[in-house]
Amino acid sequence: MPGVVTAPEAGDGGGVEHPSVADRVAAGKAARERAPRSSLGRWEAAPDRTDPIALLEEQARTRVPELVPIRYGRMLVSPLAFFRGAAYVMAADLAGAPRTGLRAQLSGDAHLSNFGIFAAPDRRLVFGPNDFDETLPGPFEWDVKRLVASFAVAGRERGFDERERRRVSLAATRSYRLAMRRFARARTLDVWYARLEVEEIAARWGREVQAGDLARAERDVAKARAKDHLRALNRLTALVDGQRRIVSDPPLIVPIEELVASGDSDRLVASIRSVYRLYRRTLLDDRRRLLERFRYTHAARKVVGVGSVGTRVWVLLLLGERDDDPLFLQLKEAQASVLEPFLGRSEFANHGQRVVEGQRLTQAAVDTMLGWTRAPDIEGSGEEQDYYVRQLWDGKASANVDQLDQRSMEVYAEICGWTLAHTHARSGDRIAIAAYLGRSDTFDTALAQFAEHYADQTERDFTALQAAAAAHRIPVLKGL
């Protein structure tokens, strides 16, 4: 094939194609025929659009029944809260739009609150995406649309007028486009190892935000530095009869022995230990050896997030040589990505592995304890569940979006835009995507227009959820 070099691939007799830069640029520009950049700004609900409440009810069927009302209660707080829990609804909407055909490993849920600070293995604090439950390869623009729409919804919630919201949206899309163009010119390994540390954020953007927001950001960083396993030990556990145990706070945190009849907790503990052993096998040898220095001590079921509420999530407390030597792991059920009905099934049979491999591909600094497994449902339903495992409270913090002024949100949008571009540059064809985006602001303005249209749709869907709650169509538990 002209312009293509085929290189041997280690381990098999085939090869990997390496199109020339010129061919990749041509592929990016050709994508404008399939999906003109200006067309990305259009949104109008189809006459046969699926009822968004029906999609949420469909998801609820595979979740822990007693936790589903908490999910609805959290989504009913505001249109932004609804948006956070409605990744499936938006995926269904995006499925009917023209596609560029330029694929990357998608977050699948790239809203503004799914970015934040976390501790890298070298203990430096970095900024990046922090939720991968829905990750799947797909058209890069789906992630960008979800990100910029989330800023439009958040801007309305903060009381920004249309001009102010447009500035925020353009900040996100422009930052994405310019970053992708820089990545297209960079060396491959430089792109792979690039990451955004909190010190660099302060140096590049610190002078552009208001003093109050800067002070809050500094407090968030200090909180992230302090949010480690020792703090989790102090906040989440207590000594009970001389043994360290996770403190009960039902229904949000329920220790394992409270989930079953008295005397039947041994079966659940055995299930937890079995899942833990299977997960351990997916770690690299050095990390497995590190993990084996800790002993299982206790476990509890935990409610997390908005969209994730109702999935099976467990917190595991492990202790090392002393009582003040803890390791907290989060064992989280991985269901099929909300993107799969529209983009095809994952190449991974295990959804826990899908989440882990997607995170490894897109995140510049990956959790040392990240792994996955499949095991029978811990609570004894008899069905097998896929899980992924990561550390809990490892320097994690997110922006307080409800406190940002317009300029600070604009800066935050720039940071998120750069970060999303980096995840796509690592996993997709950065040269083709950059060629599609081009030098002009056509892409930027189209996505900003889409954001406003989809914010309108989100408000209509939020009203529909309120009506469903008022009609007792859905069970709701608020305030949790």
Give one DSSP letter per residue of 313-368, joined into a string: EEEEEEE-SSTT-EEEEEEEE----TTHHHH---S-SSHHHHHHHHHHHH-SS--T
Evaluate whether 452 touches 445 at the Cβ level (below 8 Å): no
In this prediction, residue 262 carries a pLDDT of 57
Other C-beta atoms closer than 10 Å to the C-beta of 27 total: 18
How far apart are alpha carbons 291 and 390 in whole angstroms? 12
- Cα separation, 390 vs 376, whole angstroms: 19
Q: What is the mean pLDDT of residues 26-38?
A: 98
**What is the spatial distance between Cα 94 and Cα 35, in angstroms, rounded to a whole number?**
13
Q: Which of 350, 153, 124, 137 is nearest to 225 (CA)?
A: 124
Lowest mean per-residue pLDDT among 44-53, 85-94, 224-233, 366-375: 224-233
Q: What is the pLDDT of residue 10?
A: 46
Mean pLDDT of all residues in 26-46: 97
pLDDT at 365 over 80: yes
Comparing CA positions, the residue from 62, 373, 264 lying closest to residue 256 is 264
| pLDDT for 434 | 98
Least confident residue range of 3-7, 219-223, 234-238? 3-7
Which tokens in the block code for residue 211? 């003093």
In this prediction, residue 25 has a pLDDT band, given cuts at 50, 70 and 90, of very high
Which of 258-267, 276-285, 308-317, 354-363 shows the lowest per-residue confidence on average (mean pLDDT)? 258-267
CA angle 359, 145, 77 (to 5 degrees): 85
Residue 134 burial by CB count (10 A; 0-12/13-18/19+): exposed, middle or buried? buried
User: Is residue 372 within a helix (H) or strand (E), and if so which, with residue range?
Assistant: strand 371-376
Average pLDDT, integer, range 186-211:
85
Q: Residue 63: which residues within 8 A CB-CB, separation 6 or more?
A: 71, 309, 310, 311
Q: Is 358:136 a contact under the CB 8 Å cutoff?
A: yes
Domain residue spans in the chain? 30-225+401-470, 229-391
Q: How confident is the model at residue 266 (pLDDT cuts 50, 70, 90)?
A: confident
> What confidence score (pLDDT) does residue 9 get?
46
3-state secondary structure of 255: strand
Residues counted in the chain:
480
Strands (E) across 55-184 are located at: 103-106, 115-119, 125-129, 136-139
CA 178 to chain centre: 23
- Mean pLDDT, the chain, as a whole number? 91
Q: State the pLDDT at residue 457.
A: 98
Per-residue pLDDT for 8 more than 50? no
**Which structure tokens are listed for 200?**
């660099």
What are the angstrom distances between the C-alpha of 60 and each of 50, 79, 96, 375, 408? 16, 20, 24, 21, 36
Confidence at residue 403, expressed as pLDDT on a 0 to 100 scale = 85
6-20, 188-202, 418-432 — most confident range: 418-432
Q: Which two tokens mark 82? A: 């609804």
User: Which residue would you say has higher pLDDT here, 255 or 206?
Assistant: 255
The reported pLDDT for the residue numbered 378 is 78
C-alpha distances in Å from residue 197, one per residue of 69, 128, 188, 361: 38, 9, 20, 19
pLDDT confidence tier of residue 2, bands split at 50, 70 and 90? very low
pLDDT surpassing 50 at residue 27: yes
pLDDT at 51: 97
User: How many CA within 13 A on the CB side of residue 147?
Assistant: 34
CA distance 47 to 149: 22
3-state SS, residue 441:
coil
Residues 371, 391 contacting (CB under 8 angstroms): no
**108 touches 95 (CB < 8 A):** no
Task: List, for residues 173-193, the tens digit of each pLDDT value.
Answer: 999 999 999 999 999 999 999
Determine if residue 438 is left, alpha or beta; phi over 0 gives left, psi from -120 to 50 gives alpha, anything else beta.
left
Phi, psi (deg, nearest 5) at residue 7 = -110, 145
**Quick check: 1 pLDDT over 50?**
no
| Mean pLDDT, range 381-407, rounded to an integer | 85
Q: Is the pLDDT of residue 387 over 80?
A: yes
Phi-psi region of 123 (alpha: psi -120 to 50; beta: other; left: phi over 0): left
Q: Is the pLDDT of residue 309 over 90?
A: yes
Region 222-226: what's the mean pLDDT? 63
The pLDDT of 313-338, averaged and rounded, is 95
pLDDT tier, 270 (very low <50, low <70, confident <90, very high otherwise)? confident
DSSP-derived letter for residue 113 is G
295 to 318, 327, 376, 407, 469: CA distances (angstroms): 5, 9, 22, 48, 45
Cβ partners under 8 Å of residue 140, min gap 6:
100, 102, 103, 104, 106, 424, 428, 433
Question: What is residue 398's predicted lDDT score, i.e. its pLDDT?
Answer: 79
Give me the mean pLDDT over the 365-379 stretch: 89
pLDDT at 290: 96
Res 216 pLDDT > 90: no
Nearest-CA neighbor of 312 among 67, 25, 91? 67
The per-residue pLDDT for 7 is: 44
Round to whole Å and give the CA distance between 303 and 324.
25
Three-state DSSP class for residue 136: strand
Read off the pLDDT of each residue in 261-287 and give the average, rounded to a whole number: 85
Which phi and psi (to 5°) does residue 338 adopt? -65, -15
Neighbouring CB atoms inside 10 A of 266's CB total: 10
Strands 384-391 and 371-376: antiparallel
Tell me the pTM.
Answer: 0.93
Q: Contact 101/34 with Cβ under 8 angstroms?
A: yes
The pLDDT of residue 35 is 97
Beta-carbon neighbour count of residue 328 at 10 Å? 20
Average pLDDT over residues 253-281: 84
